[in-house]
Structure 1
Amino acid sequence: KILGKDLEKTLAGLPLLVAHREDEIPVLRDELVKELKQTLSCIKLEEKGVYVQASTLGSLEALLEFLRTSKVPYAGINIGPVHRKDVMKASAMLEHDPQYAVILAFDVKVERESQEMADSLGVRIFSAEIIYHLFDAFTKYREDYKKSKQEEFKHIAVFPAKLRVLPQFIFNSRDPIVMGVSVEAGILKQGTPLCVPSKGFVEIGVVTSIEMNHKAVDTAKKGQEICVKIEPIPGESPKMYGRHFEATDIIVSKITRASIDALKNWFRDEMQKSDWQLIMELKKTFEII
């Protein structure tokens, strides 16, 4: 520790240089600035990630290590109070990935005009003096953000599924189609649009309910035999089992480029490796680039 006047901007973690003559001061100052920039530039940043601000080099490194082990990417770093220029840098994420338009301010002051600027731009600043408090606040924010995005994209995200008709369980052949199917691969969810590639990609409707052992369920997975209700797509004429498709036809969920992107961005946790393999297979079937 050092004691003296005008030490407000002293940075813990940097070397201490002694000037023996007056003219050495600017040279040593430049050397320290260069040393700090070099130290910061050695820290590997991601293209997409949060902006991290800390009071000292040591606390910055501690926070970055904590973020690394928690798999939180960081795209920008700085030391000292949060200034307007830091908010501007963090706001770049609004274009790339808005969930990371965030400043994690660890044990530093947030200037009032910086906070006002962040509020107007839509940048979130989380400030705390304890790493865990900072991380908990950010984790909660990220979970809430993900839930809101899942809600927003749930009608766009179509999970991959491949179904085989169980011909002995055809309960209604048209409007709605009610029949037994076996899930050959993937995940079948309520709201999934279905089509039959072998019959000119005819869209037979949307799954409105799934029953397993006479109980309603939201999801069915590979290997399960279920009863599904398929209602016509609004505005289209109802399709009929026996006319538009047969028991020998494989039924698949109708995926699109937008639905794949929605799965990648917001529903990755619900997908297994085999589900992504089915996505690759269906991409070829639907000729999605």
Structure 2
Amino acid sequence: MPRQPILSVLGHVNAGKTSFLDAIRESRITEGEAGQITQMIGATEVPLETLEDVCGGLLNQLDTEIEIPGIMFIDTPGHAAFSSLRKRGGSISDIGILMIDIQEGIQPQTEEAIDILKNSGTPFIVALNKVDTVNGWNTDSDLFTEGMREQQDHVQQQVDQRIYEIMGELNDHGIVSDRFDRVDNFQEKVAIVPISAETHVGIPELLMVVTGLSQNYLSDELDIHEGIGKGTVLEVSKEKGMGTTADVILYDGIMESDDTVVYGTSDGVKETEIRALLEPRPLTEIREDKHYSETDKVEPAAGVKISAKDFEGIISGAPIRTASEGKIEEAREEVEDELESLSYETSTHGIVVKADSLGSLEALMTEIEDKDIQVQKAEVGPVNKSDIVKAEDEESEHRAIFAFNVGVTDQAQEALEKDKVKVFQSKVIYEILDGYTEWKQDLKEKERKEKLESVSRPARIRLMPDHVFRSSTPAVVGCEIVNGVLTSGSKLMTPEGDVIGSVKSIQEQNESIDQASKGDEVAVSISGATVGRNVDEGDILVTDINSDDYRVLQELEDLLSSGEKSVLDEIVEVKDRKNPHWKLG
């Protein structure tokens, strides 16, 4: 008999991934989850008897038998977690189930899931969930095909309309699809199975499509090979009385309790002795079941908790092998090869990237490379103080840390209070990337505005009659800003280009200000000016822009008001008449 296939369930938040598995195993893990959303990777083995029970009536209708021993479902909290279920050359998942809300269609995380499924080469089907929410839907049958026939015409039309719309959205992503009972070639078209995790409608058909695909197209992949046990670490945890343990998905080979464990870490390959192989009970979720049974031997595909003598440095998503004495070197080479395929090109400068597993890191780094973001460090684990120190030394747009599904240590949190480094923390890749993009744009805009504040702005001012407070050293005169923006430190000249002096300070109602805009009436202190000698009441003056400031003003032209642009054109004419080469500075 072949091994059971491994299925990963992916989808946007709240699309119904865990509710779907709850419907199959008749458990209520969702109720204990924060916000009704899966918080960590889970694995559930559904045995043959349960498949036959759920699909019973359909099996009789189709006059067929289930040949696989069961199905192992992997419930992923985010699509990067799916990448943790990897092996060299692809994913350990034999089939993906892409969960889509019939009312919402393809959402940002759905797009991420599609990309990851396509990149890993994993065949998949679409579970179109929440068909029971279509207005007017009503049936007592668990079979979608029967339920659909029972609906009124307008309800059938609504369901079909939504299916066609989602077929169109999938087509935009290069995926040819159709409703499962209309698919003529499952190798060329992705099957869409409308279901309701809430009422169980369509679940028998979904399981039958999965079973059919497994038996008809994946028979070679489901062969069990003797020898080295090959797996991927789902989660690492500390168990009372057992120390550090690893929840593992065994996808090929055999694991035996007297084998040596060879595993990957951030520092390379390590090995240790097995203390115990612990299996969860059937129809229980590996992370929820605390009543394991010890076994001497595990065959694929299976979820198993490994208790070992010392799991130093073991991390989620790492490759893991179990081997007898004569096979240990071969196992080490396999783990080394897989770790090599997970190495990333980093730069001398750039952001810091941290993730909860190697697979998550891989998925995030793939997206980062597509965005051309420089990375100086990419590691598994929480954000620590050394990450903050590294980021602090960077240019402003690289003073950032991507924290995918990981926390921040207390020491790092203290260092962060200096507010020099920005941490983008989320369980969703696109939220991190969108947050960084928006922050970087805001940062650039802030830097541009600061740059504009550092130069003389174009301004035309009028010295107001009867408002001379001091005639010289420096002259203090009441001025009206006729146009543009006058800034402290600017030089002033006549409309003929004769330099008068520099703005030492600007005051409004006896308070110093950095700048004054069109329409403002302010007191201006002008060093170098003497009222009655080189300037008189009622005179018009303009700012004298040097070549460096002119280049900055051109670069930041979109930040200038129309008045400033108009005055700048006037200033350029004046300066060009006096010295045609002034712009070369």
1-structure distance, mates of 2:520, 2:583: 26
Counterpart among 366, 374, 378 of residue 78 in structure 1: 378
Q: Tell me, what secondary structure is at the counterpart of 2:327?
A: coil
1-structure distance, mates of 2:398, 2:551: 18
The residue identity in structure 2 corresponding to 1:87 is I
1-structure distance, mates of 2:418, 2:502: 46
Structure-2 residue corresponding to 1:251: 542
The residue identity in structure 2 corresponding to 1:36 is L
1-structure distance, mates of 2:387, 2:451: 34
- Say if 1:23 and 1:272 are closer, same or farther in 2 by CA, change over 3 A: farther
Q: How many residues align?
A: 247
Structure-1 residue corresponding to 2:485: 188
The residue identity in structure 1 corresponding to 2:524 is E
Q: Tell me, what secondary structure is at the counterpart of 2:328?
A: coil
Counterpart among 80, 97, 110 of residue 408 in structure 2: 110
- Say if 1:272 and 1:120 are closer, same or farther in 2 by CA, change over 3 A: closer
Contact kept in structure 2, 1:160 and 1:253, CA below 8 Å: no
Deviations along 1:137-172, one digit per CA (max 9) or x if unpaired, are 99679969987x899x6996344204376xxx8534
Structure-2 residue corresponding to 1:232: 525
The residue identity in structure 2 corresponding to 1:251 is V
2-structure distance, mates of 1:31, 1:261: 54
Could you tell me how far 1:188 is from its partner in structure 2?
A: 0.7
- Say if 1:202 and 1:138 are closer, same or farther in 2 by CA, change over 3 A: same
1:75-224, aligned counterparts within 5 Å? 75-81=375-381, 82-93=383-394, 96-97=395-396, 100-115=398-413, 123-131=421-429, 132=431, 157-163=454-460, 170-172=464-466, 174-175=468-469, 176-178=476-478, 182-183=482-483, 187-189=484-486, 191=488, 193-196=490-493, 198-200=497-499, 202-203=501-502, 206-208=505-507, 219-220=517-518
Could you tell me how far 1:89 is from its partner in structure 2?
A: 2.6
2-structure distance, mates of 1:146, 1:155: 11
Deviations along 1:214-267, one digit per CA (max 9) or x if unpaired, are xxx9533xxxxx56534215xx57642x5324789752166797x899999xx9
Please state if 1:54 is matched with 2:359.
no
Structure having the higher Rg: 2
Contact kept in structure 2, 1:53 and 1:106, CA below 8 Å: yes
1-structure distance, mates of 2:445, 2:559: 13
- More relative contact order, 1 or 2 (CA 8 Å, 6+ apart): 1
2-structure distance, mates of 1:87, 1:268: 36
Deviations along 1:34-78, one digit per CA (max 9) or x if unpaired, are 2222xx21x7x695x542323313541476389x4xx9x554341
Q: Tell me, what secondary structure is at the counterpart of 1:36?
A: coil
- Say if 1:179 and 1:110 are closer, same or farther in 2 by CA, change over 3 A: closer
Structure-1 residue corresponding to 2:342: 36
Structure 1 spans left out of the alignment, 5+ residues: 210-216, 221-225
Could you tell me how far 1:105 is from its partner in structure 2?
A: 0.9
2-structure distance, mates of 1:87, 1:231: 46
1-structure distance, mates of 2:413, 2:551: 33
Contact kept in structure 1, 2:499 and 2:544, CA below 8 Å: no
Contact kept in structure 1, 2:491 and 2:499, CA below 8 Å: no
1-structure distance, mates of 2:353, 2:338: 21
Could you tell me how far 1:103 is from its partner in structure 2?
A: 1.9
Could you tell me how far 1:33 is from its partner in structure 2?
A: 3.0
Deviations along 1:94-129, one digit per CA (max 9) or x if unpaired, are xx43x7433231212434455456568964545333
- Say if 1:157 and 1:117 are closer, same or farther in 2 by CA, change over 3 A: closer
Structure-2 residue corresponding to 1:27: 333
1-structure distance, mates of 2:330, 2:503: 81
Contact kept in structure 2, 1:170 and 1:179, CA below 8 Å: yes
Could you tell me how far 1:90 is from its partner in structure 2?
A: 1.8
- Say if 1:182 and 1:199 are closer, same or farther in 2 by CA, change over 3 A: same
The residue identity in structure 2 corresponding to 1:27 is E
Q: Tell me, what secondary structure is at the counterpart of 1:22?
A: helix
Contact kept in structure 2, 1:163 and 1:182, CA below 8 Å: yes
Q: RMSD in angstroms over aligned alpha carbons?
A: 5.8
Structure-1 residue corresponding to 2:368: 64
Q: Tell me, what secondary structure is at the counterpart of 1:23?
A: helix
The residue identity in structure 1 corresponding to 2:376 is G
The residue identity in structure 2 corresponding to 1:110 is V
For normalisation by structure 1, the TM-score amounts to 0.54
For normalisation by structure 2, the TM-score amounts to 0.31
The residue identity in structure 2 corresponding to 1:91 is E
Contact kept in structure 2, 1:51 and 1:75, CA below 8 Å: yes
Structure-2 residue corresponding to 1:214: none
- Say if 1:286 and 1:201 are closer, same or farther in 2 by CA, change over 3 A: farther
2-structure distance, mates of 1:77, 1:230: 54
Could you tell me how far 1:202 is from its partner in structure 2?
A: 1.9
